[in-house]
Structures are given as C-alpha cells and as structure tokens.
C-alpha cells in the first residue's frame, strides 16, 4: 500500500482542527492590524534562496528540495517564505514609493531535515513582514500583533528574547573581537564552528553544541560594538516594550547570521515545548530587498511554525473544539425530497445542517451518527412530515423533542 513520503504527513481530524483554528485566529488578528495576505508559489528559482537565506546556511547547503524541471530550470520547493515574498514585491514593483506594505503568509515549506520529534520535511509556517518602516515603533507593533495572536490562542509560559546584531558597518569590529576570542579557545569548539568562524562568525554564538556553549562563556557582546544609531534603536525598542508591559529578556547569543539582517533579532520560546523550545524567530532585515535586486527598503518580520503551534495547542487544551452540524435524517422518498428543500432553505439562512442522503433506516442512521460524533439528529419520517415537525434527538443526552419546522432555524441558533 502506498504511504506518504518520509517526513510528510496528512492533516485531518483533530490536528486539522487545530490548524484551522490557528489559521483563523491569525487571519483575524493580522487583518485588524492592516496586514494583507500574500500567496507566493511553492517553486522558486534557486537563486532566490542562495541570495537570501545564504549559501553558508544549512538550509541552502543541505536541506533544499531542488531539482531541474522538464524545461531545464533549476528550481527549489521553498524552504521558507520571506525570500519569495521579497521576490514578489520586487517583481510587481510594490515597494517603489517606499510606502509601508504589511503582509502575511500561511503555507507549507520544505526542508530535507534529519527526522526528529516535531520536525518534518513538509511543515507549515505563518509569517508577517512589514516593509518600508525602519522605526523601533514598527517592531513594537509587529511584536504586539504576535503577542495578541499567541494570547488569542490561549498560550502561556512564553518568553521573548531580543538582541541587536547592529549593521554591516559595525559588524567588522565585532567579527574581529569574536575571532580573537575564538582563536584563544579553538580546540574547545566543534568542527562546524571552525567553518562558521570563517564564513559567518556571528553564527558561532548560537551553536547548540553544549561544549561550544560552555566555551562561549565570557564572549564579546555585540551590543558593546554597536554604532550610535543602532544603540539608540535598540534602547528605544526596549523602552517601548517596557512601557507596553511586554516582558522580554536580552540574549546576547541570539543572532541572525547574514549581512542583510540588521539591528533587532528576536525569538519566542515556550517552556511547554521541551527540547524544541523555539516557537518562532524573526528580526529586521533592512538589506534584503536591495540584495535581491530591489530598492533600498527596510523590513521586519517573523515566522512561526504551525506544526509546533498545533502540537502545543493539543498539549495545553486537548482536542480541537468541534461544532458538528445537526444531522437531518429523512425516512422514505417523500421525506427525502422535503429534506432537500428544507436543508436548502436552512443553508441559505447560514445554518449548519448535514443531510443524511443514504436512504437507510433510522437505526442505522443513528448508529453511524453516534460514531461520527453528531450531537443533534433531526428526524423527518412520514409521521413528522404529516404534522410539519421534526423529531429532534439530542444524541449525547438521549432526549427527544418535537419541533415545528418553522421553529428549527431559531432553535438551532439558540443551541
Ligand atoms: P526558521 O525559518 O528556521 O527560523 O523557523 C521558524 C519556525 O518554523 C521554527 O521556530 C519552527 O517552529 C518552525 N520550523 C522550522 N523548521 C521546521 C521543521 N522542519 N518542522 C517543523 N517546524 C519547523
């Protein structure tokens, strides 16, 4: 029997229920903040990621689903969505006047990762990006939106960590400091860090290997090397968050490794997630639009993993809330036609009615309704038809009432 491809999975039932609930919540919150949804293709040219995510990153180096299509184009199934959004913005000339542009996306991403709990090769992300605004206020706004979203999902035990990675101008001095520090302790660092210190020194700071974390004790701190404007920016963001009552901690090891990342970097951790504690990450990427061939446009954004969020929701709240429709069960031919007519009328009034169109007997219909989790069955047999009523059977309570047909919409609304 065919199976889903390793690292991918089918979403249905309860997990699907949580996905929908999370997506609906995101759409509601983001729309209130003036963010518009954008959907970019899953396939992008490989250059989009090489030039954005970066050739020194694991994502580009080891994890991309890339292939040559029948027309000889070298394409990638997107490993993340920021690069695609920026590509789209440039292609459609949406950033030319430097007007703010607030966008969000929801969709599947693909990374050929080593398999572990909560890590998939096809996973989903929700992300928000704001273009054209360079202020700490725009970051505070985006973080407030994020917190509102997480709060609306009922998530607790979250912590926000922030840092500043400065600008490409102030980074060489910091790179020199971190290289000196590294060289004095070379043997204590892992092989990957030896590679990183050459290609992407900031990345040494967020190496997850315990030995490297220990060796980093007393490392130079980037906020000591910030230029004046970056320092002011960072101080203002902290001032805003404090005044808004958004709790945060400063984490000098939190970095985004590539040159177009500027100033603010942040992540949100959840103590309910165990080893996979990072729920999301983001930051400012003022250099990216230009780097991908567009105008010079500042930008700030973040991405959250939907799979991990759904797992957390299940852990905290149990199964996704369900609201199954009432099931209308007609018995006999005359009742079947009447049921179609009635249901059409009720659907048009916005009521949730599932119609049993199988033409089975009542016992079978009720047994399968019970199995499917139906809570209310509306039975329409010859007797009911004659009197202009339905028998409304509450399947969980086991009680039954008679409702006049014209009362049904109001009664369903009141349930
Ligand atoms: P990143 O784009 O690597 O910064 O990841 C942002 C978020 O996406 C992470 O915090 C995770 O919640 C989620 N994520 C990244 N990779 C995976 C994966 N392979 N499987 C599930 N979730 C992932």
Look at residue 257 in the predicted model and tell me its pLDDT.
64
Distance in angstroms (rounded) separating the CA atoms of residues 21 and 313: 10
**In the prediction, which pLDDT does 379 show?**
98
Say which DSSP state 119 is in.
B
Which of 160, 308, 311, 312 gets mutated to test ligand 1 (max ligand atoms within 8 A of its CB)? 308
Check residue 323 and give its pLDDT: 85
Which pLDDT does position 272 carry in this prediction? 79
DSSP string, 127-184: EEEEES--SHHHHHHHHHHHHHHHHHTT--SEEEEEEE---TTTHHHHHHHHHHHHHT
| Selection from 53-57, 172-176, 246-250 with the highest mean pLDDT | 246-250
Please, are residues 283 and 256 in contact by the beta-carbon 8 Å criterion?
yes
Residue-wise pLDDT tens digits, 198-217: 888 888 998 889 999 999 99
171-173-179-182 Cα dihedral, nearest 10 degrees: -90
- What average pLDDT does this structure show over 250-258? 85
Q: How far is the CA of 386 from the centre of ligand 1 (A)?
A: 60
Going by alpha carbons, the residue nearest to atom 15 of ligand 1 is 305
pLDDT of residue 232: 97
Strand partners, 41: none
Neighbours of 24 (CB within 10 A): 11
Find, among 123, 128, 126, the residue nearest to 23 by Cα.
Answer: 126
Q: How far is the CA of 274 from the centre of ligand 1 (A)?
A: 15
> Averaged over 140-154, what is the pLDDT?
96
Q: Which of 49, 36, 139, 43 is nearest to 86 (CA)?
A: 49
Q: How many residues are given for the chain?
A: 415
Residue 29 confidence (pLDDT): 98
Candidate from 79, 85, 125 with most ligand 1 atoms within 8 A of CB, to mutate: 125
Q: Is the pLDDT of residue 275 over 80?
A: no
d(CA 61, CA 387): 72
pLDDT at 171 exceeding the cut of 90: no
Task: Give, using CA atoms, the residue closest to atom 10 of ligand 1.
Answer: 280
Kindly calculate the radius of gyration of the chain based on its CA atoms and give it in whole angstroms: 27
Residue 325 DSSP one-character state = P
Alpha carbon distance 169, 131 (integer Å)? 21
> Average pLDDT, stretch 372-389?
96
Mean pLDDT, range 13-20, rounded to an integer: 96
Picking from 143-147, 192-196, 331-335, which range would have the lowest pLDDT averaged per residue?
192-196
Residues with Cβ within 6 A of ligand 1? 80, 111, 113, 119-120, 123, 125, 278-281, 303-305, 307-308
Could you read off the pLDDT of 71-128 as tens digits, one per residue? 999 999 999 999 999 999 999 999 888 799 999 999 999 999 988 888 999 999 999 9
Residue 280 near residue 273, CB atoms below 8 Å: no
| Residue 233 reports pLDDT greater than 90 | yes
Largest Cα–Cα separation, the chain: 93
- Whether 280 has a pLDDT exceeding 90, the answer reads yes
Mean pLDDT of 321-331: 93
Nearest alpha carbon, ligand 1 atom 13: 305
């Amino acid at each position: 029997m065919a199976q889903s491809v390793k690292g991918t999975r089918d979403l249905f039932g309860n997990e699907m229920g949580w996905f929908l609930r999370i997506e609906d919540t995101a759409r509601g919150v983001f729309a209130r903040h003036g963010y518009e949804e954008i959907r970019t293709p899953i396939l992008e040219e490989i250059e989009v990621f090489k030039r954005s995510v970066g050739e020194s990153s694991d994502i580009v180096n080891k994890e991309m689903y890339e292939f040559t299509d029948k027309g000889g184009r070298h394409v990638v199934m997107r490993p993340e969505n920021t690069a695609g959004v920026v590509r789209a913005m440039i292609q459609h000339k949406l950033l030319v006047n430097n007007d703010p542009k607030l966008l969000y996306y929801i969709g599947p991403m693909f990374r050929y990762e080593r398999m572990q709990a909560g890590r998939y090769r096809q996973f989903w992300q929700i992300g928000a990006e704001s273009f054209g605004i360079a202020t700490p206020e725009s970051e505070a706004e985006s973080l407030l939106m994020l917190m509102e979203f997480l709060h609306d999902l009922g998530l607790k035990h979250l912590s926000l960590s922030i840092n500043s990675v400065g600008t490409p101008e102030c980074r060489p001095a910091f790179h020199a400091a971190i290289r000196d520090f590294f060289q004095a302790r070379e043997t204590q660092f892992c092989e990957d860090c030896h590679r990183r210190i050459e290609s992407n020194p900031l990345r040494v700071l967020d190496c997850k290997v315990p030995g490297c974390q220990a060796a980093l004790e007393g490392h130079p701190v980037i906020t000591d090397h910030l230029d004046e404007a970056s320092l002011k920016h960072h101080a203002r963001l902290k001032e805003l968050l404090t005044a808004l009552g958004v709790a945060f901690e400063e984490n000098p090891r939190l970095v985004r490794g590539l040159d177009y990342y500027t100033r603010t970097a942040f992540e949100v951790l959840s103590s309910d997630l165990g080893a996979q504690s990072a729920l999301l990450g983001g930051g400012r990427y003022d250099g990216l639009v230009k780097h991908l061939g567009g105008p010079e446009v500042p930008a700030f954004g973040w991405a959250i993993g939907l799979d991990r969020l759904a797992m957390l929701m299940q852990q905290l709240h149990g199964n996704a809330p369900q609201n199954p429709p009432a099931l209308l069960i007609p018995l006999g031919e005359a009742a079947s036609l009447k049921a179609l007519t009635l249901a059409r009328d009720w659907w048009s009034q916005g009521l949730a009615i599932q119609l049993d169109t199988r033409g089975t007997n009542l016992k079978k219909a009720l047994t399968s309704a019970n199995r499917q989790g139906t809570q209310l069955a509306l039975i329409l047999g010859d007797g009911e038809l004659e009197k202009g009523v339905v028998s409304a059977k509450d399947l969980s309570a086991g009680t039954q009432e008679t409702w006049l047909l014209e009362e049904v919409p109001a009664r369903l609304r009141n349930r």
